[in-house]
Chains A and B, each alone.
Chain A
Amino acid sequence: MLKVENLQVSYGGIEALKGISFEVPTGKIVTLIGANGAGKTTTLRTISGLIKPKNGAITFEDVSIAGNDAAAIVGRGITLVPEGRRIFPDMTVLENLRIGAYLRKDKLDNDIERVYALFPRLKERSWQLGGTLSGGEQQMLAVGRALMANPKLLMMDEPSLGLAPIIVREIFDIIREVNKQGVTVLLIEQNANMALKTADYAYVMETGRITRSGSGNELLNDPTIKEAYLGTMNEEE
């Protein structure tokens, strides 16, 4: 579905991505894991058109989208759940959801119901301002808002950031649920344990390069990965 080849991005003189290639097959959950500064967020922001690439190709459903502007890419069916949630604090929950569907011209009632079915808590808070929600609810709102665009590919930038373990589990359950409903997911995580358990396929990023790849389980049991990203498993459980 999405194919990234030899993607290079730099900020001024600093090279953030030094030519990465990976693929996201239709209907799967793919994750990019890595430490801070590995270039994960840059990758997602480049795919969604917020940053222009220096070099390389991005093809989505056999069409090149590298360098397109953000609105065009959302229109093609790729939406981003940005890092740190970034919901609109002074707008109500419902308005936040409606903004997610900004480029759509059709009726939204069914989609709003669909999002409320996924997140019943948002329905209760429908008239509340986004900024008054708790962190976990804001993350749910961010995911719901992205789903309102009716995406084929949902990209999530660290959905577990700053959330309690029990909420993180809830969020990952929902990611699986969304995936079951037919949405392909590209997930970025520092919480490698949770991400690898959820993902069908995973890539490991280090300082702007992809250094390893494999199925989620494969990497989960790999001793070097264990040491670098997972710590000892006992601690996590």
Chain B
Amino acid sequence: MNNIKHRRQKRILTIVNAALVLAIFVAVFIAEQVLPQTSMLFVVLKKGSIYALIAVSMNLLNGFTGLFSLGQAGFMLIGAYVYGIFTIPEEFRQSVYQYFDGGLIHFTVPIVIALVMAGAAAAIFAALIGLPVLRLKSDYLAIATLGFAEILRALFQWKIIGPVTNGSNLLRKFPNFNDFNIKNADGQVVLYLSTLVPFIVAGVCILLIVLLIRSSYGRAFRAIRDDEIAAEAMGVNLFKHKQLAFVISSFFAGVGGALLAMYQMAIQANAFTSAMTYEILLIVVIGGLGSVTGSCFGSFLFIAASEWWLRGLDSGAFLGINAPGVFRAGFRKVVFAVIIMAVVLFYRKGIMGDSEFSAKRIAERFRRIFMKRKSKIEAVDSIDN
């Protein structure tokens, strides 16, 4: 009896959650048609959604499985390159690979397949380095993965493999988000999709990660995070599950890397520095280790603050205050660092902790406020009587 009621309640909450997500997508779609394309909002939405995917993939590893890995930039690099290499149209190859005689590869694959290939390549590399690396724990694992990411960065600029990677030169002219806009015969855009597409790709990937976390595999990951020895004693194969989490996380980091390449319209190995990994780690920690919605909020807040809201601090005027003497290049970073410190001080476990933002939580919050008011009224009544 109770069980049936519980199940029905759960179904309603799932529907409400789905509706909330759908509403966000619809809002993005409408905003894109109505607002001018040059608005900073779209920079934030595009880059934010890509970072959200990468942050969630990192959270799967660091927050849910308890593996402190810092290889994210390396896997993004692989994803970006695989995407670029296999999607540059043939007619542009001669100009892109100008120092390598048009390059070695002379075919292209559809964008969706290229995205999957980007993820798969990153996953295969993760499976290879997982064998030695995942035997390490905590800090040592972090150092080893960081090392592999740096090696990749150097390797991809190596001249010998230039016919494939274009050495230290840019890869460009591959399809980007603007190519998703639907144009009429005169070349005028009739339907803007350049922001919705990264939203949909990131959304689908994050949904897959959430489903994994909620499955019995996800439970095993969290058991490993909480207590490795107890997990092993329960029959959870430690190495197999760590490897699985590592490979899946890398897959989505690879897809994220490909999306980032589409956003930036050019790929160069040198850009995938460890600083990029730290940015994502910062998002994960500030959003909350072990919270998917936390990582998503964290990404959009981080990108909005660094790319948009605090820009004025670098260029003279901020919030209507004109002070070119103080608000000079670099001041933004100072303020940003202070904000981050304040957030960490007030939210010790990140903005969301390890809980999720969902319909259930909102409902509970409302119920609590309502109950409190009710009990207060009753208390007042009893005093009056």
Residues of A within 8 A of B (CB): 48, 50, 69-71, 74-75, 79-80, 82, 86-91, 95, 98-100, 102-103, 145, 149
The contact sample of 18 A-B pairs, CB cut-off 8 A, is A70-B235, A71-B236, A74-B233, A75-B235, A82-B233, A86-B229, A86-B230, A87-B227, A88-B222, A88-B223, A88-B226, A88-B230, A91-B222, A91-B223, A99-B219, A99-B236, A102-B219, A102-B220
| Residues 204-262 of B at the A interface (beta carbon under 8 Å) | 216, 219-220, 222-223, 225-227, 229-237
B223 touching A99, Cβ below 8 Å = yes
- When A and B form their complex, which 5 residue pairs have the shortest distance between CB atoms, in order from nearest? A74-B235, A88-B226, A86-B230, A103-B235, A71-B235
Q: Is B167 an interface residue (CB 8 A)?
A: no
**Cross-interface CB contact of A98 among B216, B232, B233, B237, cutoff 8 Å:** B216
Nearest-CB distance from A143 to chain B (Å)?
13
Where chain B touches its partner, the secondary structure class is helix
Which residues of the other chain, A, contact B230 by a CB distance below 8 angstroms? 82, 86-88
Nearest-CB distance from A87 to chain B (Å)?
7
Within the assembled complex, what's the spacing in Å between the Cα atoms of A78 and B332?
Answer: 60
Q: Is B119 an interface residue (CB 8 A)?
A: no
Given A71-B235, A75-B235, A103-B235, also A90-B225 (CB < 8 A): yes
Within the assembled complex, what's the spacing in Å between the Cα atoms of A43 and B37?
Answer: 69
Where chain A touches its partner, the secondary structure class is loop
Within the assembled complex, what's the spacing in Å between the Cα atoms of A19 and B354?
Answer: 47
Which residues of the other chain, B, contact A79 by a CB distance below 8 angstroms? 233-235
Interface 1/0 per residue, B118-146 and A, CB below 8 Å: 00000000000000000000000000000
B290 touching A90, Cβ below 8 Å = yes
A50 touching B229, Cβ below 8 Å = yes
Which residues of the other chain, A, contact B235 by a CB distance below 8 angstroms? 70-71, 74-75, 79, 102-103, 149
Nearest-CB distance from A70 to chain B (Å)?
5
Nearest-CB distance from A69 to chain B (Å)?
7
Within the assembled complex, what's the spacing in Å between the Cα atoms of A70 and B232?
Answer: 6
- Which one of A87, A99, A149 has the highest number of Cβ atoms from chain B below 10 Å of its Cβ? A99
Which residues of the other chain, A, contact B354 by a CB distance below 8 angstroms? 90
Nearest-CB distance from B367 to chain A (Å)?
15
A50-B233, A90-B226 known, 20 other contacts, Cβ within 8 Å: A50-B229, A50-B232, A70-B235, A70-B237, A80-B233, A86-B227, A87-B227, A88-B222, A88-B223, A89-B226, A89-B227, A90-B225, A91-B223, A91-B226, A95-B219, A98-B216, A99-B231, A102-B220, A102-B235, A149-B234
Which residues of the other chain, A, contact B226 by a CB distance below 8 angstroms? 88-91
Nearest-CB distance from B64 to chain A (Å)?
10
B232 touching A99, Cβ below 8 Å = no
A102 touching B236, Cβ below 8 Å = yes
Given A90-B222, A99-B220, also A82-B229 (CB < 8 A): yes
Across the two chains, which residue of chain B brings its CB closest to A109?
B3
Which residues of the other chain, A, contact B231 by a CB distance below 8 angstroms? 88, 99
A74 touching B234, Cβ below 8 Å = yes
Nearest-CB distance from A97 to chain B (Å)?
11
A69 touching B229, Cβ below 8 Å = no
Nearest-CB distance from A141 to chain B (Å)?
11
Nearest-CB distance from B12 to chain A (Å)?
18
Across the two chains, which residue of chain B brings its CB closest to A83?
B229
- Which one of B222, B229, B230, B234 has the highest number of Cβ atoms from chain A below 10 Å of its Cβ? B234
Within the assembled complex, what's the spacing in Å between the Cα atoms of A99 and B222?
Answer: 10
